[in-house]
């Protein structure tokens, strides 16, 4: 058995001073589609004769049709009207280009996130605006006009960053082309008591970086991220820290990294070691792992189709003191006419052939072989939702689109698709594939990529108004089930079992996972309905829980005389231990 693993990590590096010659320029995204009136950021990457690739800070940008879209000196495109335009970046006489499609979709509404927020006075909160368009797509709005209903309580800048001033409430509004969306902000009187810096005591080798975060603990018991503390290092010869809390280690030693906000400070103790990199594994893009019973075997080669980009990444980077850390290697491609590799390990195939992708750090190199195939895109699928037709109200998930190519029909590759919902009153899906079921009804979720699309028709089902069955784990006080009542509710709601069946948190508090095993005489149906691992009073629907557990399958209708067993599991295996049994009435 095998599976395709898309990149899940990695690092980037600046590669030092470039002495090689520029061979080509890559413009990303390689293709884009936006509604008229929106903006889109493009970037240019230079591919050099030594196989390295580096961002080009100041290429000359041009648009082939300025009536369709214009582009400024920083690569920011403003779409004007429906049509297509070729966007070109030129640097030292070498050019690269991409195609932009501007659609006729009209802005219907704006969603501001988070929809509601509560912060203590003095803190900041970032809000974002997403436009919902007439073709069912959702796209981030980079430059709406932001406003606050009460600037004495909170102000908002042009980027949607809110600064809270005093206790009260304010409505934050984003407006574009006469369409507005809003969010509610509550500013509390809570005062900052202390600051926790995490990780609290990192230890890393000299030359590496470490991201620190600051969290404020307030007088009302809440904790809130502090976006803009003042960062400082007590020993800048060992480590420095920038305004965003990113620590750069310089040499062996120790330093206290301090975050200060509102006169309150918190700190972390950083140890910088003299450890050196001993070994690491380079995983190729879209690596195919074969399951074995022994230690995992890392592949040394992979295949990706032309024009499809994916990351190679670093794994198991071990240092001489036995620790493991991420690092920023220098990336090179053996043939940049076949495939380029960016500063984050992103490999992009340009033509059929083979290349060697190499990552180098501290004198140690690892290489993998990447084959660029000529396969054409044949179909698209939404991973994990091939047979799902119903979802519960308030369900949330991140959807992933997978492309299947003609020469690798048994493989699917994660791609960045364009998402849309046919009825946004039932479910919304944003540009990143984040699905939210918000109403009852039926909608079609569509993913599109390079001329191919896949549609997922979903029915949203509202749960019953209140729980009808309580599972107890006390054999002296067993639960009872009326088959008629069970079946009546089951007929209305087949997928929200744990919203109409709940678990008694007192009698079941010592059992990790509670299940109902229903023996109909010809089939045994087991339904996990609660887990003390998530809190004894917490129940979940019979789909995928917020923690990724599969809760289900869907319960069967009952008949009078069916045997029902209340059982528990350890939360790891499928084997259950009976607590007691009874007969459905």
For the segment 97-106, the average pLDDT, to the nearest whole number, is 92
For residue 565, tell me if it sits in a domain: yes
Q: Give the chain's length.
A: 585
Closest CA to 533 of 584, 568, 493, 491: 568
3-class secondary structure, 404: strand
- Taking the C-alpha atoms of residue 33 and residue 447, their distance in angstroms, rounded to an integer, is 13
Closest CA to 42 of 78, 14, 8, 17: 78
Which residue among 158, 188, 218 closes a domain?
188
For residue 319, list its beta bridge partners. Answer: 277
Residues 398 and 504 in one domain: no
- Taking the C-alpha atoms of residue 47 and residue 27, their distance in angstroms, rounded to an integer, is 11
In this structure, are residues 2 and 288 in contact, taking their beta carbons and an 8 Å threshold? yes
For residue 259, tell me if it sits in a domain: yes
For residue 269, tell me if it sits in a domain: yes
Closest CA to 483 of 581, 562, 554, 542: 562
For residue 504, tell me if it sits in a domain: yes
pLDDT at 221 over 90: no
For the segment 195-200, the average pLDDT, to the nearest whole number, is 95
Count the alpha carbons within 13 Å of 379 in the hemisphere toward its beta carbon.
10
DSSP annotation of 533: G
Q: Which residue has the higher pLDDT, 224 or 517?
A: 224
In this structure, are residues 31 and 450 in contact, taking their beta carbons and an 8 Å threshold? yes
Residues 59 and 157 in one domain: no
Reported as a single tens digit per residue, the pLDDT across 409-418 is 567 788 888 8
pLDDT at 514 over 80: no
Residues 336 and 311 in one domain: yes
Residues 38 and 139 in one domain: no
pLDDT at 496 over 70: no
Burial 181-216 (b: 16+ CB within 10 A, else e): bbbebebbebebeebbbeeeebbbbbbbbbebbbbb
pLDDT at 203 over 90: yes
Burial 331-341 (b: 16+ CB within 10 A, else e): bbbbebebbbb
pLDDT band at 493 (very low <50, low <70, confident <90, very high): low
Q: What is the pLDDT of residue 414?
A: 85
Q: Which residue has the higher pLDDT, 455 or 146?
A: 146
- Taking the C-alpha atoms of residue 413 and residue 144, their distance in angstroms, rounded to an integer, is 34
pLDDT at 13 over 50: no
pLDDT at 9 over 50: no
Please state the three-class secondary structure of 263-315 as a single string: CEEEEEEEEEECCCEEEEEEECCCEEEECCCCCCCCCCEEEEECCCEEECEEE
pLDDT at 540 over 90: no
Backbone angles phi, psi at 498, to 5 degrees: -85, 10
How far is CA 551 from each of CA 91, 302, 563, rounded to the nearest angstrom?
A: 55, 35, 21
pLDDT at 99 over 70: yes
pLDDT band at 6 (very low <50, low <70, confident <90, very high): very low
pLDDT at 547 over 50: no
pLDDT band at 464 (very low <50, low <70, confident <90, very high): low
Across 178-187, 296-305, 385-394, 530-539, least confident range: 530-539
pLDDT at 467 over 80: no
Closest CA to 239 of 264, 215, 266, 203: 203
Closest CA to 23 of 55, 51, 64: 51
pLDDT at 531 over 90: no
For residue 9, tell me if it sits in a domain: no
pTM above 0.85, yes or no: no
For the segment 500-510, the average pLDDT, to the nearest whole number, is 76
Q: What is the pLDDT of residue 548?
A: 28
CB neighbour class for 73 (10 Å; exposed up to 12, middle 13-18, buried from 19): exposed
Residues 569 and 504 in one domain: yes
For residue 6, tell me if it sits in a domain: no
For residue 91, list its beta bridge partners. Answer: 94
Residues 569 and 477 in one domain: yes
For residue 391, list its beta bridge partners. Answer: 460
Chain center to CA of 386:
21
Reported as a single tens digit per residue, the pLDDT across 112-127 is 988 889 999 999 999 9
In this structure, are residues 535 and 524 in contact, taking their beta carbons and an 8 Å threshold? no
Q: What is the pLDDT of residue 298?
A: 87
Please report, for the domain that includes residue 345, its CATH number.
Answer: 2.60.40.1080
- Report the number of distinct structural domains present in the chain: 6
For residue 541, tell me if it sits in a domain: no
Enclosing domain of residue 576 = 464-531+556-584
pLDDT at 550 over 50: no
Backbone angles phi, psi at 369, to 5 degrees: -100, 130
3-class secondary structure, 491: helix
For residue 98, tell me if it sits in a domain: yes
pLDDT band at 364 (very low <50, low <70, confident <90, very high): very high
For the segment 529-535, the average pLDDT, to the nearest whole number, is 43
- Taking the C-alpha atoms of residue 287 and residue 312, their distance in angstroms, rounded to an integer, is 8
- Taking the C-alpha atoms of residue 414 and residue 447, their distance in angstroms, rounded to an integer, is 12
The percent of residues in the chain predicted with pLDDT above 70, rounded, is 83
For the segment 70-91, the average pLDDT, to the nearest whole number, is 95
For the segment 64-82, the average pLDDT, to the nearest whole number, is 95
Reported as a single tens digit per residue, the pLDDT across 241-272 is 999 999 999 999 999 999 999 999 999 999 99
Strands 179-188 and 116-120: parallel
pLDDT at 513 over 70: yes
Instruction: Answer left, alpha or beta for residue 378, where phi above 0 means left and psi between -120 and 50 means alpha.
Output: alpha
Residues 31 and 96 in one domain: yes
Backbone angles phi, psi at 378, to 5 degrees: -105, -35
Q: What is the pLDDT of residue 2?
A: 34
């Amino acid at each position: 058995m095998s599976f395709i693993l898309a990149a899940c990590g990695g690092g980037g590096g600046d590669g030092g001073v470039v002495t090689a010659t520029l061979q080509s320029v890559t413009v990303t995204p390689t293709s884009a589609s936006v509604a008229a009136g929106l903006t889109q950021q493009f970037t240019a990457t230079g591919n050099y004769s030594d196989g390295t690739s580096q961002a080009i800070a100041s290429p000359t940008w041009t648009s082939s049709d300025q009536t369709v879209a214009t582009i400024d000196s920083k690569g920011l495109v403003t779409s004007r009207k429906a049509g297509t335009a070729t966007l070109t970046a030129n640097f030292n006489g070498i050019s690269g280009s991409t195609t932009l499609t501007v659609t006729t979709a009209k802005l219907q509404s704006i969603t501001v996130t988070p929809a509601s927020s509560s912060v203590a006075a003095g803190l900041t909160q970032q809000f974002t605006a997403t436009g919902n368009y007439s073709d069912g797509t959702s796209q981030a709005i980079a430059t709406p006009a932001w406003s606050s209903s009460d600037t004495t309580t909170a102000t908002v800048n042009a980027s949607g960053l809110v600064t809270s001033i005093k206790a009260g409430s304010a409505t934050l509004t984003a407006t574009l082309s006469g369409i507005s969306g809003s969010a509610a902000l509550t500013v509390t009187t809570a005062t900052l008591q202390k600051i926790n810096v995490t990780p609290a005591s990192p230890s890393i080798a000299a030359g590496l970086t470490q991201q620190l975060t600051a969290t404020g603990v307030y007088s009302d018991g809440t904790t809130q991220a502090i976006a803009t503390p003042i960062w400082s290092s007590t020993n800048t010869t060992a480590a420095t820290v920038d305004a965003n809390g990113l620590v750069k280690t310089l040499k062996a030693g120790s330093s206290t990294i301090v975050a200060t906000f509102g006169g309150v400070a918190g700190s972390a103790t950083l140890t910088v070691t003299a450890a050196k990199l001993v070994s690491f594994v380079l995983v190729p893009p879209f690596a195919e792992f074969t399951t074995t019973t022994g230690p995992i075997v890392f592949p040394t080669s992979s295949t990706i189709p032309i024009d499809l980009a994916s990351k190679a990444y670093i794994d198991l980077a071990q240092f001489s003191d036995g620790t493991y850390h991420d690092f920023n290697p220098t990336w090179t491609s053996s043939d940049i006419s076949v495939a380029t590799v960016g500063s984050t390990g992103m490999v992009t195939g340009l033509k059929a052939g083979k290349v060697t992708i190499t990552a180098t750090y501290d004198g140690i190199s690892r290489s993998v072989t990447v084959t660029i195939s000529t396969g054409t895109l044949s179909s698209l699928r939404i991973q994990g939702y091939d047979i799902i037709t119903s979802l519960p109200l308030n369900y949330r998930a991140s959807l992933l689109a997978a492309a299947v190519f003609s020469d690798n029909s048994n493989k699917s590759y994660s791609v960045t698709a364009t998402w849309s919902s046919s009825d946004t009153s039932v479910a919304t899906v944003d540009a990143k594939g984040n699905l939210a079921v918000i109403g009852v009804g039926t909608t079609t979720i569509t993913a599109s990529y390079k001329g191919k699309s896949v549609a997922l028709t979903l029915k949203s089902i509202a749960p019953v108004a209140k729980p009808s069955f309580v599972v107890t784990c006390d054999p002296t006080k067993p639960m009872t089930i009326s088959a008629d009542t069970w079946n009546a509710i089951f007929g209305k709601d087949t997928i929200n079992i744990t919203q109409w069946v709940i678990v008694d948190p007192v009698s079941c508090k010592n059992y990790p996972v509670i299940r109902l095993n229903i023996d109909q005489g010809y089939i045994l149906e087991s339904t996990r309905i609660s887990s003390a691992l998530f809190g004894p009073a917490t129940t979940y629907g019979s789909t995928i829980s917020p923690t990724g557990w599969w809760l289900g399958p869907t319960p069967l209708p009952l008949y009078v005389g069916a045997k029902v067993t209340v059982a528990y599991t350890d939360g790891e295996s499928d084997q259950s231990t009976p607590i007691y049994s009874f007969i459905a009435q």
